[in-house]
């Protein structure tokens, strides 16, 4: 694939041409849909895999392509990006690296991967964890707070964090910031350089296979972390680090790399390069425009997020959407729909028709 790094940004219309998605798919917040290039690359790799004689080095090329693309998407140098498989691995590494007695501030109802690793350390008597509502996060940061762990966009509700307020308060009290951008990168512009650390799984809005996760680290914060998952892929010379005990880890964020699930990265490289080539602000306007239009029809407050949720304690709404062939999801007693590049105004109408809302 020819690199799109130096090409003009793809327009939304051009980006949409890379997807073949049936109408009514409103669940990118749960699992994305791969572009045709990713499907073709994975199919070709599977055929080559079946024939044997596969060169493992080719998978390393795909990993680096994906790393470079994610760096462009997140506004950081590639050597600030580590690769892995799960967000909780990064959170666990950060949690175990904090000094004993540190206070960690987390968000009530946040995705568990941003909460449980710190709670585990609290149960071991190492950390103190304080949980507050998202809208109280900035005001709850205090001098004792060592780390603020939160999602940029909440998985259960689609609520977008007030990043400016959180970062201002964290800076005022000397707290580090750790942000999960999984429900953000792909539909909205994200500047990961503003945070001490971020983590992002790419199987949702970035439409990559599951198993490809990215961590960004400011060098000063990275120096405080222990690479407790270090393995051969963390080595300064990857293929020269297959055997111990001599250990020379990479000097960049690669020392936090976790050995990649090879095949997944073949598809991820294609998906990530596609999104890195697109106009992120145009994508945001498109997704939020559709989501806010649905909010108005539902009679709920516009959240200015690509995710729309509303109460559904009895499950009637999700049942109606499913019956109408609409792919949606249900979380924490709320029905959840998400608008991505392949959606358009007709999907808003599908939801409304399924719920019996008049035009």
**Tens digit of each residue's pLDDT, the chain (359 residues):** 444 445 689 999 999 999 999 999 999 999 999 999 999 999 999 999 999 988 888 999 999 999 999 999 999 999 999 999 999 999 999 999 999 999 999 999 999 999 999 999 999 999 999 999 999 999 999 999 999 999 999 999 999 999 999 999 999 999 999 999 999 999 999 999 999 999 999 999 999 999 999 999 999 999 999 999 999 999 999 999 999 999 999 999 999 999 999 999 999 999 999 999 999 999 999 999 999 999 999 999 999 999 999 999 999 999 999 999 999 999 889 999 999 999 999 999 999 999 999 76
| 237/109 same-domain check | yes
* Structural domain contains residue 46: no
CATH of the domain at 148: 3.40.640.10
Domain boundary among 228, 244, 276: 276
| 252/313 same-domain check | no
| 106/171 same-domain check | yes
| 137/269 same-domain check | yes
* Structural domain contains residue 320: yes
What does DSSP say about strands 197-201 and 176-180: parallel, antiparallel, or unpaired?
parallel
Collect all residues with Cβ–Cβ distance below 8 Å to 28 and sequence separation of at least 6: 186, 187, 204, 205, 207, 306, 338, 339, 340
Q: What secondary structure letter does DSSP report for 152?
A: S
* Structural domain contains residue 221: yes
- Position 2 scores a pLDDT of 41
* Whether 208 contacts 34, CB under 8 Å: yes
* Whether 63 contacts 181, CB under 8 Å: no
Domain residues for 29?
12-35+279-354
- Position 55 scores a pLDDT of 87
* Structural domain contains residue 291: yes
- Position 127 scores a pLDDT of 98
Domain boundary among 237, 256, 276: 276
| 252/338 same-domain check | no
Say what angle helices 280-298 and 345-355 make with each other, to 10 degrees. 20
**pTM reported for the whole predicted model:** 0.95
Rounded distance between C-alpha atoms, residue 142 and residue 128, angstroms: 13
Q: HSE, CB side, 13 Å, CA atoms: give it for residue 286.
A: 21
Q: What secondary structure letter does DSSP report for 305?
A: S
| 158/246 same-domain check | yes
* Structural domain contains residue 2: no
Write down the H helix ranges in 200-329: 219-222, 262-276, 280-298, 316-323
What does DSSP say about strands 176-180 and 145-151: parallel, antiparallel, or unpaired?
parallel
Q: Domain count of the chain?
A: 2
| 154/283 same-domain check | no
* Structural domain contains residue 76: yes
CATH of the domain at 284: 3.90.1150.10
| 241/344 same-domain check | no
Structure tokens at 190: 């994200």
Element (H, E) at 131: strand 128-132
| 245/323 same-domain check | no
At 200-229, the pLDDT tens digits run 999 999 999 999 999 999 999 999 999 999
Rounded distance between C-alpha atoms, residue 187 and residue 193, angstroms: 18
Categorise residue 304: left if φ over 0, alpha if ψ from -120 to 50, beta otherwise.
left
């Amino acid at each position: 694939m020819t690199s799109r790094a130096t090409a003009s940004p793809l327009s939304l219309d051009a980006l949409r041409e890379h997807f073949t998605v049936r109408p009514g798919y409103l669940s990118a917040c749960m699992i994305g849909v791969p572009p045709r290039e990713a499907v073709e690359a994975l199919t070709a790799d599977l055929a080559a895999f079946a024939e044997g004689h596969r060169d493992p080095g080719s998978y390393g090329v795909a990993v680096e392509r994906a790393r470079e693309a994610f760096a462009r998407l997140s506004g950081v140098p590639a050597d600030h990006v580590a690769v892995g498989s799960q967000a909780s691995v990064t959170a666990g590494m950060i949690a175990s690296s904090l000094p004993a007695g540190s206070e960690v501030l987390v968000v009530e109802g946040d995705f568990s991967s941003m909460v449980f690793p710190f709670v585990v350390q609290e149960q071991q008597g190492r950390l103190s964890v304080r949980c507050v509502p998202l809208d109280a996060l900035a005001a709850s940061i205090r001098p004792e707070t060592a780390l603020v762990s939160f999602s940029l966009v909440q998985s259960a509700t689609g609520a977008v964090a007030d990043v400016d307020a959180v970062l201002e308060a964290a800076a005022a009290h000397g707290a580090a910031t750790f942000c999960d951008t999984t429900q953000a990168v792909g539909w909205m512009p994200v500047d990961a350089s503003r945070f001490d650390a971020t983590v992002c799984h790419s199987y949702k809005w970035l439409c990559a296979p599951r198993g490809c996760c990215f961590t960004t680290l400011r060098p000063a914060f990275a120096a405080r972390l222990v690479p407790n998952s270090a393995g051969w892929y963390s080595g300064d010379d990857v293929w020269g680090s297959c055997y111990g005990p001599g250990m020379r880890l990479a000097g960049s964020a690669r020392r936090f790399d976790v050995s990649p699930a090879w095949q997944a990265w073949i598809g991820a490289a294609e998906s990530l390069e596609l999104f890195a080539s697109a106009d992120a602000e145009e994508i945001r306007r498109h997704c939020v425009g559709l989501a806010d239009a649905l909010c108005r029809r539902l009679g709920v407050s516009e959240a200015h997020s690509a995710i729309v949720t509303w109460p559904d304690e009895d499950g009637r709404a999700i049942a109606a959407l499913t019956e109408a062939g609409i792919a949606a999801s249900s979380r924490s007693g709320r029905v959840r729909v998400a608008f991505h590049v392949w959606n358009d105004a007709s999907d808003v109408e599908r939801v409304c028709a399924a719920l019996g809302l008049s035009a």
